[in-house]
Structure 1
Amino acid sequence: MKIKKFYYYSPDKLKLVQIHNFIPKAIFGLFTLLILFVLTTVVLNNTILKSENLEEVLLNNFTEKKLLGSEIEILKKKYHKLYSKFEKLSDETRALRLAVNLPSLENENENYGIGGSEFNNIMNASFDKRKEKFNSIYDYVNKIETNIKYETSNFEEIKNKFNDNKNLYEVIPAIRPVKAKIGDRFGSRYHPILKVNRMHNGLDFLSNTGDAVLAPGDGIITFIGEKGGYGKVIKIKHGFGYETLYAHLSKFKVKRGQKVKRGDVIAFTGNTGSLSTGPHLHYEVRHNGVCLNPRNFIFENVKLFENNYLVSN
């Protein structure tokens, strides 16, 4: 079989030159081109895929950054709202605890403040730092929210204590029962009529007959009548174990079972009873049946026992 020969024109030799082993060389060349084509296709596909992945990553990062920025703004608003509520609640709790004589909370002086610059620093930080700071402040805001719940729960204790004290402040004897000077005081004394040393269970106010006798605190009239050497007597039950007694009266202005307020006129001073040496008021304060020194229940600044004063101060 005659093999077909292939030639190419050579400009250098100015003649046709035979191509030896043309077919193997042609096959090798085509195979090489095919390999190059396949490799080029693979490289291009990988480049396109990487480009698409990079675009997707960039898009995801952009979306994540945008979402994080929105979450930071939401967190910032939530923080300011919660912190304002927490500050107000803490101040009110502290004031009420002082008013009702409750101990302060262990964490009452803890500072939960975050300046506005802190949030600006977050926004200006790198993405990773921003995420880290965001998570940190997110936990911090949750801590404030937890403390608000804790502070709120304390109000039940404070409210109960304040209600008790509110009633106590209203009923406790706190003013002079009559506008007069004090004569004989509480304690052991030589009795001018009985001529013996004996306990004087109250205060004697030197008054004229007919001076107004005032209720020193809110209460209920539990006794009106004659009581031996005390003459005409009134008793007031104030509550919380407190009771007051007024002796040697000339005239009553209240009835048994009547409710009275601090400052109400309940009677008038006199000179009744065998143990009276002249017009005066004998005044006793008892707590759970035990006589106390009434001088300890006379306050010049009666506002200390007014609820508005306690809350505002």
Structure 2
Amino acid sequence: MKKFYYFSKSKLKFVEIRNFYKKFVFLLVFFAILVSFFVFGTFLVFHEFINPDSEVKALKKSNKLLREKFELLVDKYENLDQTVNQLNEKSRELRLKANLDPKNTEIAYGIGGSIFEPIESYNSGEITTFLNEIDTYIDKVSLKVKIEKNNYSEITSTLKQNELLYDAIPAIRPCEGRIADDFGMRFHPILKFVRMHNGIDIITDVGTKVYAPGNGTVESVGWKGGYGLTMEIAHGFGYKTLYAHLESVKVKVGQKVNRGDFVAYSGNTGRLSSGPHLHYEVHHNGVTLDPMNFIYDDVSLFEIVKK
């Protein structure tokens, strides 16, 4: 390996330089690092001098993009808000059709004032206010969606119950014939004194088919004093119907029946029957009601009866 020397004035002779290559590499690396720091520092100073607001501009650009995204988000929520408001109007109509009391959703939602003020500058305080208003607005729309969801669940449940109620109400004439004695006080033709008549009498021949006026369950069949052979149907929702002076019954206790099902034959049984007819009563929660309030003249029995 080649050796390197230097002249020593103190010794007045050439002295060998030990570890020359290691010292040379060290100095080379040191000066390279020094030059790199110098160049990088010069670049930073020059760049800051040429573009003193570059960082601010970058932040403003980022804020602008964020603002546009937030405003787009607000537009979407405004459209959702309008849709929920339209659904609220529809739900008001549905609640009326379902016999439900209308809800004052304005109190639940909270109304008044503008939704939010659009951000006009890059001031951090205004941005914070803008974000808080958006957050409040989103909470308000979310509350509306939750209320409408509960509202529709209530409407759906009520409509299903109403369907069952409408099917159960004794809403048709139980047999063909002429109505002779109305509901109310009357002079009894056999007992010969005035007493309450708890139903109506339908004059018809013995053996006329009797039909269930609404869905229900046969509750009792048997002889009942002056009523003769009697049948009772429990329709649910507090409704019950009674059929007296029957010739025969074609259903059993506990049997389910639907409106229009054939259930019995009219007759002339019972000591208080003055002739062939069907005595028909309607009860609701134990109170006797006028059956005529449940019979619609514009609905023919043969339109309901199953063939």
Shorter-normalised TM-score: what interval?
0.5 to 0.7
Q: Which aligned pairs between 1:112-127 and structure 2 lie closer than 5 A?
A: 126-127=120-121
State the one-letter code of the partner of 2:214.
Answer: G
Residues 151 and 48 of structure 1: CA distance in aligned 2, closer, same or farther (over 3 Å): same
1:239 pairs, out of 224, 231, 236, with: 236
**1:171 maps to what in 2?**
168
State the one-letter code of the partner of 2:276.
Answer: P
How many angstroms does 1:246 deviate by?
0.6
**2:104 maps to what in 1?**
106
- Which blocks of at least 5 consecutive residues in structure 1 are unaligned? 1-44, 113-117, 303-313
SS in 2 for 1:183: strand
Q: C-alpha distance in 2, partners of 1:53/1:255? A: 98
Query: 1:163-205, CA deviations, whole angstroms, 9 ceiling, x for partnerless residues?
Result: 5444322222222212333221111100111111111010111
**2:245 maps to what in 1?**
248
- Which blocks of at least 5 consecutive residues in structure 2 are unaligned? 1-43, 300-307
Residues 269 and 155 of structure 1: CA distance in aligned 2, closer, same or farther (over 3 Å): same
Query: 1:34-79, CA deviations, whole angstroms, 9 ceiling, x for partnerless residues?
Result: xxxxxxxxxxx99975764422222211221122112222332344
**1:63 maps to what in 2?**
62
* Greater mean deviation of Cα atoms: 257-266 or 47-56: 47-56
SS in 2 for 1:251: strand
State the one-letter code of the partner of 2:70.
Answer: E
2:60 and 2:122 in contact (8 A); partners too = no
Tell me, yes or no, if structure 1 residue 196 matches structure 2 residue 193.
yes
1:90 pairs, out of 64, 88, 97, with: 88
How many angstroms does 1:228 deviate by?
2.5
Tell me, yes or no, if structure 1 residue 187 matches structure 2 residue 163.
no
**1:282 maps to what in 2?**
279
State the one-letter code of the partner of 1:104.
Answer: P
Q: CA RMSD in A?
A: 3.5
How many angstroms does 1:291 deviate by?
1.7
Q: C-alpha distance in 1, partners of 2:230/2:200? A: 15
TM-score, length-normalised on structure 2? Answer: 0.68
State the one-letter code of the partner of 2:165.
Answer: L
Q: C-alpha distance in 2, partners of 1:48/1:149? A: 55
Q: C-alpha distance in 2, partners of 1:83/1:228? A: 66
1:174 and 1:297 in contact (8 A); partners too = yes
SS in 2 for 1:235: strand
Q: C-alpha distance in 1, partners of 2:276/2:49? A: 111
**1:305 maps to what in 2?**
none
State the one-letter code of the partner of 2:103.
Answer: L
How many angstroms does 1:152 deviate by?
2.2
Residues 77 and 225 of structure 1: CA distance in aligned 2, closer, same or farther (over 3 Å): same
State the one-letter code of the partner of 2:212.
Answer: A
TM-score, length-normalised on structure 1? Answer: 0.67
Residues 211 and 111 of structure 1: CA distance in aligned 2, closer, same or farther (over 3 Å): farther
2:63 and 2:122 in contact (8 A); partners too = no
**1:77 maps to what in 2?**
76
How many angstroms does 1:236 deviate by?
0.5
1:72 and 1:134 in contact (8 A); partners too = no
2:175 and 2:211 in contact (8 A); partners too = yes
Q: C-alpha distance in 1, partners of 2:266/2:232? A: 14
Residue-pair matches, total: 249
**1:294 maps to what in 2?**
291
Q: C-alpha distance in 2, partners of 1:254/1:187? A: 30
SS in 2 for 1:59: helix
State the one-letter code of the partner of 1:66.
Answer: L
**2:11 maps to what in 1?**
none
